[in-house]
Amino acid sequence: MVKATPHADQHQQSRRARERKDIIAGVLFLSPTLLVFSLFVVFPVVFSFFLSFHKWNMFSAEQAFVGFDNYAAILVNPEFWSVLSNTALYTLGTVPLNMVIALAAAYVLNKKIIGRRILRTAFFLPVVMSPVAAAVIWRWVYEPNFGLLNYGLSVFGIPSVNWLNDPTAAMFALILMGVWKSFGVNLVLFSAGLQGIPEQYYEAAQIDGAGKVRQFWNITLPLLSPTTFFILVMSIISSFQVFDTVYVLTSGGPLGSTKVLVFYLYENAFKYFEMGYASAVAYLLFAIVFVLTLVQVKYLRGSVHYG
C-alpha cells in the first residue's frame, strides 16, 4: 500500500470532493429531463413489456398474467401475417424510391444551380409539416372526381383511378405520399455526405480522363456509403413504424389492404382495449426491426467505405 503524505492526501481529498460536487451538479441539471424521460419513455417501455404477458382492458384494476398467450395468439392470427406483409410491401416500396429520389435531388442541388436554397427548403418542407394536415391535402390530391392527380393523368389521356378506394392503388398512393413526406430528411443527409467528399478526388479522376458517370460510380457512391448505410437503416425502421398517414389517408382500407403493423396495434389497443395483445404486437415489431437492423449491420457493413 502506498503511503501518501498528509499533504498529498488532503489535496487528493479536496479534488475528490470537487469531482463529487461536479457530478451532483450535473445530475441536478439533468434531473428535469431525466424525470420526464423516465416517466414518459422508460416507464411506458417497461410497462408495455410487462403488459405483453398480461390480459388487461385498461379499465379493470388488475392485470391477469397469461404468459406467452398474447404472443401465441398473434402468431396464429392470419390477420397479423397479412398486416405484416402489407408493412413489408410498404417498406419495399418506400425505402428504395425514397433513397433514389433523395440522392438524385441531393446530387443536383450539390451543383451550383440557381434557386438551390429555395428548392432545398421546398423539398424539406413536407418533413416539418404535420402528418395529419399533409394527409388531408393528399386526400384531395387523390380524390377521384376532382383530384389533382387524376386531372394531371387525364391531360395525358390516362383514365382516372379511384386511388384510395382500390385495393391495389391505395398502397401505391400511400407509398407515394410516404416518399414525398420523408425524402427531405434523406436529401439533407445525402447533401452533407456529398459535401464531405474531397474535391481532389474528382480533379484527379478528371485528369485521368474519367467521365461524369464513371466519377459518380467510382468516387461518389463508394465515399457516400456510410451515409447511404445510415439512411437505409433509419428508413427501414421508420417505414415499419408508419401510422399517422395510414390513419388519415386510408384508415387501413380498402378491404384492409393498407392496414400496417402500427395501425393494427392501435386498433387493438384503443378500439378493442386489448392492451396486453397490443403490447405484444409492439414487442414483436421491435423484434422484427431489431433483427432486420442486425442483418443489415452484419451483411452490409463490409461494403461501407470510410473515406
Partner 1 sequence: MNIPPLSAHTCSLRIARNLHLLLITTLITGMSILLPACGGKEEDRSGKVEITFWHSLVSSTVPALQDLIKKFEEEHPGITVKAQYVPTGDALIQKLVTAVHSNTAPDVSWIHANFMQDLIEADAIYTMEEFIRGPDSLPQADLQDIYPALMEQAKWRGVLYSMPMEATALGLLCNRELFRNAGLDPDQPPRDWNELRAMARKLTLDKNGDGKFEQMGLFIPIFPYSGPYGDWMVWQWYPFLFQAGGNVITLDQSRVLFDSPEAITALTLWKEIYNDLNLSSFTIDYEVAFASKTLAMAIDGPWNIPRWRKMKNLDWTVAPLPAGPARNATVAGGEYLSIFKQSRHPKETWMFVKWMLRPDVQAFWSMRSGYLPVRHAVRSVKEYNDYLETDPPLRAYVESMEFAVAPRPIDYHSLRISRHLAEALEQATLGRKDPATVLRRAAAESNRLLESVVRK
C-alpha cell at 98: 425514397
Task: Supply the minimum distance, in Å, between the C-beta of residue 35 and partner 1.
Answer: 5
Q: Which positions ≥6 away from 223 have C-beta within 8 Å? A: 193, 196, 197, 201, 305, 307
User: Residues 252, 279, 283, 284: which binds partner 1 (CB under 8 A)?
Assistant: 252
**What character string, x for contact with partner 1 (CB under 8 A) and - otherwise, covers 117-146?**
--------------------------xxxx
Could you say whether residue 32 binds partner 1 (CB under 8 A)?
Answer: yes
Residue closer to partner 1 by CB (options 189, 267) is 267
Q: Which of 203, 239, 225, 232 is nearest to 295 (CA)?
A: 232
Q: How far is CA 300 from CA 235, 264, 290, in A?
A: 15, 31, 15
Choose the stretch contacting partner 1; rule: CB under 8 A; options: 21-29, 95-103, 171-179, 187-195: 21-29
Q: Which of 265, 220, 229, 232 is nearest to 247 (CA)?
A: 265
Could you say whether residue 13 binds partner 1 (CB under 8 A)?
Answer: yes
Distance of CA 100 to the CA centre of its chain: 16
Contact positions with partner 1 (CB under 8 A) in 161-180: 162, 164-167
Residue closer to partner 1 by CB (options 119, 153) is 153
Residue closer to partner 1 by CB (options 60, 195) is 60
User: Residues 90, 263, 277, 283: which binds partner 1 (CB under 8 A)?
Assistant: 263
- Cite the DSSP H helix spans in 142-274: 148-155, 167-195, 199-207, 212-215, 221-240, 244-249, 261-270
**What character string, x for contact with partner 1 (CB under 8 A) and - otherwise, covers 265-284?**
--x--xxxx-----------
Could you say whether residue 250 binds partner 1 (CB under 8 A)?
Answer: yes
**What character string, x for contact with partner 1 (CB under 8 A) and - otherwise, covers 142-161?**
-xxxx------------xx-
End-to-end, the C-alpha distance of the chain in Å comes to 49
Query: Per residue in 263-295, is it b (16+ CB within 10 Å) or e — as a string?
Result: bbbbbbbeeeebbbbbbbbbbbbeeebeebeee
Residues near partner 1 (CB under 8 A) are 3-4, 9, 13, 17, 20-21, 24, 27-28, 31-32, 35-36, 39, 57-60, 143-146, 159-160, 162, 164-167, 250-256, 259, 263, 267, 270-273
